[in-house]
Structure formats: C-alpha cells, structure tokens
Amino acid sequence: MSYINEIPILLIIVSYIIYIPVRILYLSKTGSYKLFKEIVYLLLIAYAESLLYLTIFPSPGQTADGVSINLIPFETINRYIAFDGDVAIPMINLVGNIVVFIPIGIFAVLLYSSIKLRHVILIGFTCTLFIEFSQLILSSLGLLARSFDVDDLLLNTIGVVLGYILIKLLILL
C-alpha cells in the first residue's frame, strides 16, 4: 500500500492555479464571501483529487487480470473477519474503506450547515457508487486491477455518516 503516500500534488497545484482565479472572479461579481468556506472548498478539491487518485488509478505492481464483482452484501466483510492470516490486511481494508470517506460527511456539513443526514447519505452513496462503477468499467477495459464490491458501498457510506455525526457533535461542543 505504498501508493497511499503518492498523493497527486501536481494535479492539486494545477487545479488551484485554475480554480483560485476563477473563484476570485466569481466572488468579485457576487460581492460577498466567507474566508472559512473558501478554505473548505480548497481542502475539498485536494481531498477529492486524492480520493480519486487512491481509488481509480492503478496501484504500482498491479496487473489488470480481470474483473472481480461482489454483489452479495457482507460477503467481503465476513471473509475479512474470518481471515486467518495477517490481521493488518483485513483491518486496512475494512477500516480504510470507512475512514477514507469520513471527510465527505465533514465537508457536507461545513459547506451546508443545515444539510440533513439523508442528503449526506445520498451524497456519500452516490460518490462511492461513481467510484465503484469507474473501477468496474476501467477493469473491464483491462486498465485497472480493481473490483466492484457492494461491501465497499456499505463501508464507504458508513464512513460518510460517521463524518457527518462527528462534525455535528464537534459543532455542539
């Protein structure tokens, strides 16, 4: 999993170079802005690009050897729980699928303070569904060695909900 450290810094910088002047132009026409929200937007861009990089682009050393599809809920989760080998592998996959999506719930609340949980769930599910379908299509074309797994949809959406709950609790403090 060494590819996790290879965050697409250049892509983020290029995005900022394009986004910031366009955003300044837009804000100059509307006449109002909130610095905190603008910082959140910049962080959201970096997060989204990093998430896509981690989930869509192939990992070093992986070969595209076919498409793996799991449509049975809890099959992969149960397989990881029953895993006899090194516990780190299932933990990284299970916990990682949750943790990496927590920021979506946080960003949703920071950008839209009155957003309802059902909308956050819909946003999170849609984001993860996009990623899973992208992995399926790109794997089908032989470009990736990724899988489509309904358990990823579940775990990722749980992560988004946890992010929503976490930020709501922090705001209450």
> Regarding predicted confidence, which is higher, 59 or 15?
15
pLDDT of 67 strictly over 80:
no
> Regarding predicted confidence, which is higher, 76 or 2?
76
pLDDT of 59 strictly over 70:
no
pLDDT of 90 strictly over 90:
no
Flag whether the pTM goes above 0.85.
yes
pLDDT of 36 strictly over 90:
yes
Computed over every residue of the chain, the mean pLDDT equals: 89
Closest by Cα among 108, 122, 112 to 164? 108
Please write the tens of the pLDDT for every residue from 46-58.
999 999 988 887 6
Mean pLDDT (whole number) for 14-43: 93
